[in-house]
Amino acid sequence: MRRRHAARLFLSLLLILGTGLSAVAQSFDTRARAAYVFDQTTGTVLLEKDADVPLPPASMSKLMTLYMAFEAIAQGRLQTDERLQVSEHAMSYGGSTMFLDTTDRPTVEDLLRGIIVLSGNDACAVIAEALSPDGTEAGFARLMTERGREMGLTNSTFVNSNGWPAAGHRMSVRDLGVLADHIITDYPTFYPLFAEQEFEFDGRAPTNTRNRNPLLSLNIGADGLKTGHTEEAGYGLVGSAKQGDRRIIFVISGLSSTAERAEESERIVNWAFRQFVQRGVTEAGTRIAEAEVWMGAQSTVGLTVTEDVELLMPVLDQEGITAEVVYTGPLEAPIEEGAEIAELRITREGLPDVNLPLVAESAVARGGFGQRVRAAAFVLLHKVAPEADLSALPGGGA
């Protein structure tokens, strides 16, 4: 009789899970219209608020233009010292700009800094036209949407390269968080540009030289990524910070002022690092539980993980963390060493559940004739008299 089992966990794992951990992630009530907070180190989502609603992203959507520029450089389609032409269309942009005109030939490196530090709408358009198959910003925006879908940005549609207000130009805060994760992970050599606090292009924009990210000067580990603001979108920020071995990524949108954006961003960073801790749960090779075996040379097999397991946990209280091992059994022999045969499920109240594969600690050969007869007798008797105590029969299973 095969059915779902919850195997008995060994005490050592339970002690690890039950020491100094919290039942509930400390609540965080953000004033942002939408928010997404992600612990990149452990892959844990800490906060979601309207995370999948497509909203006007303002200049935060410039991150997609930057990602595609980094990609083009990595593929050899752009060079950082290459000089690009400035079109009438690019020059026509208002708002935050590098004050480019059609006589300029800025380098790709200047344009990247102009986008990251100065939030240059014109710089985005120059990059877009250079990479577009038809030489237009609209053509590049279509590529942005297609590439975004490939990267998992399921709630993003781009109409331009810079977030200038336009019907249909939308991103969710989760998509912005996923995009930030890609930038940090895929292009670490370019990521330090996001921590630059000042850039001046050719001395022509003395009033627009400072990075608008309010966290960069606070000494809290913040090192990116991009602010955004339009009347429709409100004030937003895609941010990241690293303290010790942990890195978080967060996105907030729809705040009412630069002051509120700065305050909310700092609150999120402090909350994410102070209210959660990365803890070791178990080490590779440690026996976590045993599973019952059918028709085997032995009646049980040890279950273990193949890698060290570290999880993010709330820091307070000592209840609310549960763990169980689930498998469909009894498991029929033979079983190969290292075969994936069960799952460890860890529930953390207020945080997403974690499911980890468990493998056989050792091989289990098929049992001899006598063992198989006893196991068959167990099943027969169990069907006739299920209340009978046949636990002493080797090779049996419940």
> Binding site membership for substrate: which residues?
226
**Residue 195 gets which letter from DSSP?**
G
DSSP for residue 5: E
Active site residue 49: no
Compute the half-sphere exposure of residue 187: CA atoms within 13 Å on the CB side of its CA: 21
Phi and psi based region of residue 338 (left: phi greater than 0; alpha: psi -120 to 50; beta: remaining)? left
Q: Which residues contact 370 (CB under 8 A, 6 or more apart)?
A: none
Annotation marks residue 256 as catalytic = no
Q: Binding site: what residues are annotated?
A: 226
C-alpha radius of gyration, the chain, whole number = 28
Residue 283 Rama label (left phi>0; alpha psi -120 to 50; beta): beta
Whole-number Å distance between alpha carbons of 309 and 40: 15
DSSP single-letter state for residue 19: S
The two three-digit tokens of residue 126, written as one number: 């120059």
Query: Cα(161)–Cα(4) distance, rounded to whole angstroms?
Result: 52
Q: Show Cβ contacts of residue 275 under 8 Å, excluding neighbours closer than 6 positions.
A: 25, 26, 28, 314, 315, 316
Active-site choice (22, 59, 61, 240): 59
Using alpha carbons, select from 249, 69, 48, 255 the residue that is nearest to residue 155. Answer: 48
* Beta-bridge partner residues of 248: 39, 241
CA-to-CA dists, residue 9 to 287, 294, 379, 388, angstroms: 9, 20, 26, 26
* Of 22, 49, 61, 62, catalytic: 62
The catalytically annotated residue of 22, 87, 119, 240 is 119
Examine the residue annotation and report whether 61 is marked as an active-site residue of this protein.
no
Total residue count of the chain as it appears in this document:
398
Q: Which residue bears the tokens 């949407």? A: 145
Between the alpha carbon of residue 365 and those of residues 2, 294, 320, the distances in Å are: 19, 11, 39
Non-local (6+) Cβ contacts of 93 within 8 A are: 121, 122, 125, 162, 164
Alpha-carbon dihedral sign for residues 257, 58, 183, 108: negative
Catalytic residues: 59, 62, 119
